[in-house]
Amino acid sequence: MSTTKSCPKCFKDINVNAKRCPECQADLRNWFIRHKFLTALLILLVIIGIGVFSSSGDEKVIVKSVDENGNVIEKEVSIDDAIALRVTADRLCADYESNEVKADAKYKDSKLEITGKVDSISSDFSDNAVVNLKCGGEYSFTSVSCSFSNNSEAAELSKGDNITVIGVSTGEIIGSPTVKNCKIK
């Protein structure tokens, strides 16, 4: 085995273990050793990327049931396998208005099938469609906020349509029950 190698900059013969060329002072260490900060940053970005892509996809929800003794049993299942709890937009708003803590215990992180009348159609900060279902009477300001990841479904709707959506409850935000990952039934 040879004990010398050629410098990539000046092409002089140098010791195979040299970290710098004695002639031209070229740094002969690999890129990752020379750039420790950028290497650490690159590793961090790769780890974050893996986390983001591995967490998307098969979302889990909490399914709540009651056993024969009246005890509440919670089980985490795939959103596709969960049976939706049926509720009207009016009932969902009324439950949250009456007692948010009790409503969270009943609805939050659960798959819901919500029936109501379209009050408005808009988009959120990341351009996902948001359909608000009217709660209460004509002069009520509350609504159920349903966020869609597929904008084409919401594009077919009009204000005043009676619809049923299926999604996952995220609780109440600024006085309105919110539901994510909605699809029209």
Question: Which whole-number Å values give the CA distances from 178 to 113, 148, 165, 167, 169, in the listed order?
Answer: 13, 11, 12, 10, 6
pLDDT-derived band of residue 1, with 50, 70 and 90 as boundaries? low
**The predicted structure's pLDDT at residue 82:** 65
Contact 159, 143 (CB under 8 A): no
Q: What is the mean pLDDT of the segment spanning 16-21?
A: 90
Whether the pLDDT of residue 71 is over 80: the answer is no
**The predicted structure's pLDDT at residue 74:** 78
**The predicted structure's pLDDT at residue 164:** 92
Using only the alpha carbons of the chain, give its radius of gyration.
Answer: 29
Whether the pLDDT of residue 99 is over 70: the answer is yes
Contact 110, 167 (CB under 8 A): no
Q: What is the mean pLDDT of the segment spanning 73-101?
A: 82
**How far is residue 4 CA from its own chain's centroid?**
55
**More reliable by pLDDT, 2 or 160:** 160
15 φ/ψ angles, rounded to the nearest 5 degrees: -65, 140
Q: Which residue has the tokens 């439950």?
A: 95
Instruction: Name residues whose C-beta falls within 8 Å of residue 179's C-beta, 6 or more positions apart in sequence.
Output: 112, 114, 144, 145, 146, 147, 165, 167, 168, 169, 170
pLDDT-derived band of residue 111, with 50, 70 and 90 as boundaries? confident
Whether the pLDDT of residue 44 is over 60: the answer is yes
Whether the pLDDT of residue 67 is over 80: the answer is no
Which of 6-20, 58-72, 125-139 is the least confident region? 58-72
Which of 65-79, 91-105, 121-135 is the least confident region? 65-79
Using DSSP's 3-state secondary structure scheme, residue 86 falls into: strand
Domains and CATH numbers, the chain: 4-55 (no CATH), 79-184 (2.40.50.140)
pLDDT-derived band of residue 134, with 50, 70 and 90 as boundaries? very high
Q: What's the pTM value of the predicted model, to 2 decimals?
A: 0.57
